[in-house]
């Protein structure tokens, strides 16, 4: 059978970096928590340490998720899509994924009027964490 690392296609080029999409999904509830990019090093760190590491395209460096806040994402399962440029990680989320204090970064929902509504409660106060 094929090896994961050989199958990932880091075809997404942003700022000179070769990337794939990484999606974090709660392994118990199925909630999509966030999405970001990974380069080869971020993927290797994620697989080696068992916690999510992304590549920050704005800061242009490896982003060890939860390093500052303690809100780590422990990897439970790894899936790869058909063309290899996206990975789906089922994770155990500590406290919350979003730096704005919500469990998922997708905390705003489009309502029928075309407006965005926040339909969740914060689980922490960002001012106390960052």
Binding site for a second copy (CB under 8 A): 1-4, 7, 12-14, 21, 23, 25, 29-32, 34-35, 57, 77-83, 86, 88, 98-100, 102, 105-110, 114-117
Residue with smaller CB distance to a second copy, 72 or 98: 98
Select from 124, 95, 48, 68 the least CA-distant residue to 56: 68
Residue with smaller CB distance to a second copy, 30 or 70: 30
Q: Give the containing element (helix H, strand E) for 99.
A: none
Backbone angles phi, psi at 22, to 5 degrees: -125, 130
Closest CB 12 distance from a second copy, rounded Å: 6
Residues 14/37, Cβ–Cβ less than 8 Å: yes
Select from 78, 68, 98, 70 the least CA-distant residue to 38: 78
Closest CB 62 distance from a second copy, rounded Å: 18
Structure tokens at 8: 């990932």
Residue with smaller CB distance to a second copy, 4 or 92: 4
Closest CB 78 distance from a second copy, rounded Å: 4
């Amino acid at each position: 059978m094929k090896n994961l690392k050989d199958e990932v296609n880091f075809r997404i080029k942003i700022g000179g970096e070769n990337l794939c999409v990484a999606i974090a999904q709660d392994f118990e509830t199925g909630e999509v928590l966030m999405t970001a990019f990974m380069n080869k090093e971020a993927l290797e760190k994620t697989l080696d340490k068992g916690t999510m590491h992304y590549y920050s395209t704005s800061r242009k460096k490896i982003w060890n998720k939860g390093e500052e806040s303690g809100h780590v994402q422990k990897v439970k399962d790894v899936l790869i899509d058909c063309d290899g440029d996206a990975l789906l990680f089922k994770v155990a989320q500590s406290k919350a994924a979003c730096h704005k204090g919500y469990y998922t970064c997708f905390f705003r929902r489009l309502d029928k009027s075309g407006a965005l509504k926040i339909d969740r409660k914060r689980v922490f106060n960002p001012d106390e964490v960052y």
